[in-house]
Amino acid sequence: MPRLSLGLGAQNIRKVGGAAPSGIPVATTSDILVVDTSGYGWDGSYEKESSTLYRNGANSYQVIFWDGSGWSLYDEDSSARVFPVPPSTDINYIADTGWPAQTLAPI
């Protein structure tokens, strides 16, 4: 039986769009657990206050917050700040990896 070929080899397959976003989805996550091995004390459950702010229930000065260009851990009392590497620059997703000594996970 004859075969029909369109001349499309595997090398011609292209992805549509970019990679799927990864991280913690802000729209559906109300609490984020932070485990800190740095000794600074970022540990705790951060509760969502708005689409750009999560506050640590055990230390209300500590927040996960969107500053207009990226997500960071920020201590409003001491002005200490921690950024993930690479930066978490998608307002819809908070990086769950790349933080220097912290692990973030939705709870």
Q: Which pLDDT value is given to residue 104?
A: 87
Per the structure block, which two tokens stand in for 34? 């932070």
In a domain, residue 49? The reply is yes
In a domain, residue 66? The reply is yes
Mean pLDDT of all residues in 5-21: 47
In a domain, residue 70? The reply is yes
pTM of this structure? 0.78
In a domain, residue 91? The reply is yes
In a domain, residue 15? The reply is no
Euclidean distance between CA atoms 52 and 10, whole angstroms: 42
Q: Which pLDDT value is given to residue 44?
A: 96
In a domain, residue 79? The reply is yes
Q: How many domains does the chain have?
A: 1
In a domain, residue 51? The reply is yes
Q: Is 41 exposed, middle or buried (0-12, 13-18, 19+ CB in 10 A)?
A: middle
Q: Which domain holds residue 29?
A: 24-106
In a domain, residue 33? The reply is yes
E strands present in the chain: 24-25, 31-36, 44-50, 53-56, 62-66, 71-75, 81-82, 93-94, 102-106
* Per-residue pLDDT at 2 exceeds 90: no
